Amino acid sequence: MTLQADARLTRGQNLTSIQSYLLNEEARHPGATGNFTWVLSAISLSAKFIAARCRRAGIEQVLGEVGAENVQGESQQKLDVIANESLIRCLGSRPAVAIVASEENEEPLILQEAEPGCERPYVVLFDPLDGSSNLDVCGGVGTIFSILHHDRRAPNAAGSVLQAGVKQVAAGYVLYGPSTVLVMTTGHGVQMFVLDPSIGSFLLVNDDVRIPDGHRSYSVNEAYLQSFPEGYRNYLEWTKHNGYSQRYVGTMVADVHRVLMKGGVFLYPPSDKAPKGKLRLLYEANPMSFVMEQAGGKAFSGTERTMEIQPTKIHERTSVVMGSPSEVDRVLSFL
């Protein structure tokens, strides 16, 4: 056998893991310290752990509620807690992560005072298990993450967390469905990876995800239709006479991923039950908006671009309209 690799034996095997992708990207930035790569690899490691636990949820006694409520007043699922702890532990082991903020924690956690040597430590915000109430019915659930630079001038941890979405240096999500998909952006387009459980690696399947335009489909919980503001009701009435389909899982990651793959629009308007909208600005709307915009889509909260909203509270909520540019424009025209 000659020494050079005999490609015939591995032809067609995808061997671009998320680690090799990130290291290649890092090599393209001469000043890179590797800290950013470490943070993303921590998220990837935690995602593999969460995926494994979700796969066995019905076997291990981790379904159901823990009997406690989270800061949102929502009953915590056991896997919410497991996912949250895995992310905190994986990120906590990285010197470059100064602060984490989670849907499951009232206040941000200061993992370590930023080491003097670490010139640009990061803040990582996440929803550890979005849509976890779907777990008991084997529905798609997800992890959403957003990465910011730690703002040392901020008076406290919360101050460093409260940055507008345009300040994100990276964002993405993991969808735990029939396969486990990790979609991310660092501001240079959108990359998609799929977990190959046989080798335990996320493999690159698309290095430039673009949202299709022109697909007549919308995703909203129409049970609240009567309490939506008039503009949204008029748009949804219009769709009924113009050949639209409707899809809704009830997990933002699953619904938005379908819109990213197929086109259309995802809506969570204000309602009587959620006057500002239900979704959280910092660790749901902003990261998903970053991905959507980087894939050629649009993301608004009412008539305001979501990523330009200046947050005032960690768990503040917002309404959401995101998807194909022409469909978002159509919704906005009704608002």
Decide: 236 and 220 in contact? Cβ < 8 Å: yes
Q: Which residues pair with 99 in a beta bridge?
A: 110, 123
Q: How far is the CB of 1 from ligand P6P (least distance, A)?
A: 52
Residues 6+ apart with CB under 8 A from 270: 228, 229, 276, 277, 302, 319
- Measured from the CB atom, the residue of 45 and 252 that comes closer to ligand P6P is 252
Q: Does 130 bind ligand P6P (CB under 6 A)?
A: yes
Of the candidate residues 251, 301, 319, 324, the single one contacting ligand P6P (CB under 6 A):
251
Q: Does 278 bind ligand P6P (CB under 6 A)?
A: yes
For residues 235, 239, 244, 248, the Cα torsion angle rounded to the nearest 10 degrees is: 50
Question: Segment near ligand P6P (CB under 6 A), from 50-58, 116-124, 156-164, 249-257?
Answer: 249-257
Least Cα distance to 283 among 97, 162, 145 occurs for 145
- Rounded to an integer, what distance in angstroms lies between the CA atom of residue 44 and that of residue 35? 14
Of the candidate residues 131, 263, 287, 302, the single one contacting ligand P6P (CB under 6 A):
131
Q: How far is the CB of 153 from ligand P6P (least distance, A)?
A: 32
Q: Does 252 bind ligand P6P (CB under 6 A)?
A: yes
Residues 319, 323, 324, 327: is their CA dihedral positive or negative?
A: negative
Least Cα distance to 109 among 145, 73, 80, 84 occurs for 84
For 250, the 3-state DSSP assignment is coil
Q: How far is the CB of 328 from ligand P6P (least distance, A)?
A: 17
Angle between helices 35-55 and 78-92 (to 10 degrees): 160
- Measured from the CB atom, the residue of 221 and 227 that comes closer to ligand P6P is 221
Q: How far is the CB of 86 from ligand P6P (least distance, A)?
A: 19
Q: Does 227 bind ligand P6P (CB under 6 A)?
A: no
The residue whose two tokens read 């290649």 is: 24
Of the candidate residues 250, 276, 316, 325, the single one contacting ligand P6P (CB under 6 A):
250
For 326, the 3-state DSSP assignment is helix
- Measured from the CB atom, the residue of 182 and 252 that comes closer to ligand P6P is 252
Question: Segment near ligand P6P (CB under 6 A), from 77-85, 130-138, 172-180, 194-202?
Answer: 130-138
- Measured from the CB atom, the residue of 41 and 133 that comes closer to ligand P6P is 133
- Measured from the CB atom, the residue of 19 and 227 that comes closer to ligand P6P is 227
Question: Segment near ligand P6P (CB under 6 A), from 46-54, 129-137, 231-239, 257-265?
Answer: 129-137
Q: CA-based angle 293:206:300, to the nearest 5? A: 15
For 66, the 3-state DSSP assignment is strand
Least Cα distance to 195 among 222, 219, 175 occurs for 175
- Measured from the CB atom, the residue of 280 and 298 that comes closer to ligand P6P is 280
Question: Using CB under 6 A, which residues numbered 253 to 272 contact ligand P6P?
Answer: 255
Q: How far is the CB of 252 from ligand P6P (least distance, A)?
A: 3
Q: Does 221 bind ligand P6P (CB under 6 A)?
A: yes
| Site residues, ligand P6P (CB under 6 A) | 130-131, 133, 221, 250-252, 255, 278
